Structure 1
């Protein structure tokens, strides 16, 4: 066996190991989102990739060139997207509302029952 055939797998390993996508904290020069894995999206914000949990059952999905991150099971303290700023959602147990404030989900109100229809969140007291 010649030396070239021994080096080829090693070179291939190093080449492929550098092919992963971005990680949270890496720099970026664009805007938008990518799915990091099935439960996490990354948002390019202010030149840095930022992790966004997608805890809902649909997780993070890419379809037709767009990214969908299911945040229905996200919790207070989770990062939220710039596009969600000021928007609310019901906590997964339906007993509180959450709102995206300065890039983080904050619990805003306790409820007997919380319901959501489109972008409207109703907290029954």
Structure 2
């Protein structure tokens, strides 16, 4: 199952350039995202760059003044962005609901079938 759950954040173009050479754990100011690699984004959260995996086929990419991180294949235990707090999605197998809680994806329900449509997640028992 391919989830279409993306983290997209608009940033000021200069902020993207300011992030060059940053690593998880380094200090930062404000908020925002940069791509650390093709498969990882960094989010400035609480004054520290925090790594977020982008395991989906589109990975992490920067364009114009935005960063897109494809989290469609992320799993329980993976970090998630502050902009995703409280949102749910289906796991890759379509057998569980994952919800972003306090910066981490948590499995909140198991299902025989999990589907997403129009921003709604449905879990069939």
Q: Do Structure 1 and Structure 2 share a fold, with TM-score over 0.5?
A: yes
Point out the structure with the larger strand share: 2
- The aligned counterpart of 2:106 is 106
- The aligned counterpart of 2:87 is 87
Unaligned runs of 5+ in 2: 1-19
What CA RMSD, in Å, does the superposition of the two structures yield over aligned residues? 1.3
Q: For 1:33-44, list aligned pairs within 5 A.
A: 33-44=33-44
What displacement does 1:124 show?
1.1
What displacement does 1:35 show?
0.3
Unaligned runs of 5+ in 1: 1-19
For the pair shown, which has the larger CA radius of gyration, 1 or 2?
A: 1
Q: Which structure has more RCO (C-alpha within 8 Å, separation ≥ 6)? A: 2
Matched residue SS, 1:33: strand
TM-score computed with the length of structure 2 as normaliser: 0.82
Instruction: Tell me the alpha carbon deviations over residues 29-69 of structure 1, each in whole angstroms, 9 at most, x when there is no partner.
Output: 12100000000000000100000000011100112210010
What displacement does 1:117 show?
1.6
- The aligned counterpart of 2:60 is 60
Matched residue SS, 2:98: strand
Point out the structure with the larger helix share: 1
TM-score computed with the length of structure 1 as normaliser: 0.82
Name the count of aligned residue pairs: 107
Q: d(CA) in 1 for partners of 2:45 and 2:119? A: 23
Spell out structure 1 runs of 4+ moving beyond 6 A.
Answer: none
